[in-house]
């Protein structure tokens, strides 16, 4: 991949494990914890898209809480666990290779950034709790434009900040709809396919697919 000037990462599911909050409560939730975690995540994303279409914006933390309320009812999880799950969501675990890969990239001349649905406060707490301070040049939150991915206003933020072309950005996400959103905007979008999933049919196919971020070091 040539002429890359900036490497931009999605946060949730790409750098940070969205299932780790429920995983840490598996002893209380029981065997259904994975199905619950998947439902929580799917509902959270669905709410971001629906709110964007309805032009009824709530920030990502409010959406996360709303989707948790529904998911706890669906899976009949004791409401007394709500605050514990929300607190754990603020400090999701990063994937094992993330820190080492980011440090390797930091040693090079790329701009490094996060581009996420999360609020600035949420993203800064995730980065702090995973000891990733001083890694990123910028943390781009959709709150600046007031609409969720995959709206083009979101993907335009790094281009406008760095005054570079969209094709000079390598964008990584584990979410196929996000890869397609960034790729259709003009990014060199890379799919982080951690779970051997099938890519969606959304008029974009990534040129590069990796199983984890370590493989990125062989691409850029």
Task: Give the Cα separation of 26 and 101 in Å (integer).
Answer: 29
Is 31 part of the annotated catalytic residue set?
no
Strand (E) positions, the chain?
6-9, 111-116, 138-141, 169-173, 188-192, 208-210
Would you call 187 helix, strand, or coil by DSSP? coil
The answer for 141, left when phi > 0, alpha when psi is -120 to 50, beta otherwise, is beta
- The catalytic position among 10, 66, 134, 200 is 10
b/e per residue 196-215 (b: at least 16 CB within 10 A): eeeeeeeebebebebeebee
b/e per residue 113-152 (b: at least 16 CB within 10 A): bbbbbbbeebbeebbeebebeebbbebbbbbeeebbbbbe
Strand (E) positions, 36-175?
111-116, 138-141, 169-173
Would you call 5 helix, strand, or coil by DSSP? coil
Give the residue numbers annotated as catalytic, written as ranges: 10
């Amino acid at each position: 991949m040539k002429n890359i000037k900036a490497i931009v990462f999605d946060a949730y599911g790409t750098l940070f494990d969205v299932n780790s909050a429920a995983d840490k409560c598996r002893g209380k939730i029981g065997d259904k914890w994975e199905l619950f975690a998947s439902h929580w995540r799917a509902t959270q994303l669905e709410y971001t898209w629906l709110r964007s279409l309805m032009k009824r914006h709530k920030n990502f933390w409010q959406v996360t809480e709303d989707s948790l309320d529904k998911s706890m009812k669906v899976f009949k999880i004791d409401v007394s666990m709500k605050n514990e799950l929300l607190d754990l969501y603020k400090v999701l675990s990063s994937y094992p290779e993330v820190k080492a890969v980011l440090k390797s990239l930091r040693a090079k001349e790329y701009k490094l950034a996060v581009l996420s649905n999360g609020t600035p406060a949420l993203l800064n707490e995730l980065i702090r709790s995973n000891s990733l301070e001083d890694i990123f040049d910028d943390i781009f939150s959709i709150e600046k434009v007031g609409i969720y991915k995959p709206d083009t206003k979101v993907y335009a933020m790094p281009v406008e900040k760095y005054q570079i072309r969209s094709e000079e950005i390598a964008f990584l996400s584990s979410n196929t709809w996000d890869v397609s959103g960034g790729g259709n905007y003009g990014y060199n979008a890379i799919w982080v396919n951690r779970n051997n999933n099938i890519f969606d049919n959304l008029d974009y196919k990534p040129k590069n697919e990796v199983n984890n971020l370590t493989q990125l070091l062989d691409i850029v």
